[in-house]
Amino acid sequence: METIRSRDRILDLLLKSEEPLSVQSLSSALGISRNAAHQQVIALEREGLVERDSAIRTKGRPSQGYRLSEAGNATFPRQYALLARQLLEELSRHLGPKELRQSMARIGVSLADSLRSGMEAGSPQRLSQIAALMRDLGYESQALEGPEATEIEAHNCVFHDLAMADQTICEVDLALLRSLSGQEVEHRRCMARGERSCRFAFKPKQPDS
């Protein structure tokens, strides 16, 4: 329990400090030994929550400075869901249903463009790569092989609260997956419809008639 408290306090000290902190300064602030503070910092660095910064000048040898990483900052509470819901409601007041859906689709395409560099062109494991990119975004997703079509299943939704209020937000996911895969995407299951997971089926695009 003491280890957990020390860990949380280190993250809090780094969050509130305008400058990088050394192990010695963390040790003094926490009232623990330098060795104990060093072990905590190394563990946090290994988890990607803390990263090394520039050395801190002292009267003796310079000390290594540490700061929060982006992942470390993300451990602190943020009201993203509340803000996103307010933004969606504001858009809904000014856009019609068609325009709102088109806006969500554009967001999905833009997101796909930012992620595309993480995919290997022409890979036969394309859907597995897409599922991995979705996991990076926070989805618990995996690629499934079915008799009729290849599918990706997600057991959570990063837009869950928004989707429960307005399923138009699902168009972000659909546009993202269409853009990354270059295929048609059928939303076969949806948690916002009361189902246990979201399931997306991928099919080749039909030629224009």
Structure confidence at residue 146 (pLDDT): 63
Are both 21 and 121 inside the same structural domain? Answer: no
Structure confidence at residue 2 (pLDDT): 53
Q: For residue range 15-43, what is the model confidence (pLDDT) as tens digits?
A: 888 889 999 999 999 999 999 999 999 99
Sign of CA dihedral 68, 72, 73, 76: negative
For residues 119 and 32, which has the higher predicted lDDT (pLDDT)?
A: 32
Please, which pLDDT band fits residue 209 given cuts at 50, 70 and 90? very low
Cα–Cα distance, 185 to 134 (Å, whole number): 15
| Beta-bridge mates of residue 144 | 151
CATH code, domain with 20: 1.10.10.10
Structure confidence at residue 139 (pLDDT): 92
Q: For residue range 57-97, what is the model confidence (pLDDT) as tens digits?
A: 777 678 899 999 988 888 887 677 788 888 899 999 999 99
Q: Which of 73, 100, 117 is the last residue of a domain?
A: 73
Is residue 176's pLDDT more than 90? yes
Per the structure, the complete domain to which residue 30 belongs is given by 2-73
Q: Which of 25, 58, 73 is the last residue of a domain?
A: 73
Are both 173 and 112 inside the same structural domain? Answer: yes
In a domain, 209, yes or no: no
| Least confident segment among 14-28, 112-126, 165-179 | 112-126
Structure confidence at residue 117 (pLDDT): 84
In three-state form (DSSP H/G/I as H, E/B as E, the rest C), the secondary structure along the chain is: CHHHHHHHHHHHHHHHCCCCECHHHHHHHHCCCHHHHHHHHHHHHHCCCEEECCCECCCCCCECCEEECHHHHCCCCCCHHHHHHHHHHHHHHHCCHHHHHHHHHHHHHHHHHHHHHHCCCCCCCHHHHHHHHHHHCCCCEEEEECCCCEEEEECCCCCHHHHHHCHHHHHHHHHHHHHHHCCEEEEEECHHHCCCCEEEEEECCCCCC
Is residue 104's pLDDT more than 60? yes
Please, which pLDDT band fits residue 133 given cuts at 50, 70 and 90? very high
In a domain, 173, yes or no: yes
Q: Which of 16, 48, 73 is the last residue of a domain?
A: 73
In a domain, 48, yes or no: yes
Q: For residue range 138-148, what is the model confidence (pLDDT) as tens digits?
A: 899 999 876 66
What is the pTM (predicted TM-score) of this model? 0.65
Q: How many distinct structural domains can be found in the chain?
A: 2
Please, which pLDDT band fits residue 120 given cuts at 50, 70 and 90? confident
Hunting for tokens 């801190």 — which residue is that? Answer: 56
Cα–Cα distance, 108 to 101 (Å, whole number): 11
Is residue 193's pLDDT more than 90? yes
CA triplet 109, 127, 198: central angle to 5 degrees?
Answer: 75
CA triplet 159, 160, 161: central angle to 5 degrees?
Answer: 100
Are both 68 and 88 inside the same structural domain? Answer: no
What mean pLDDT, rounded, does the chain reach? 88
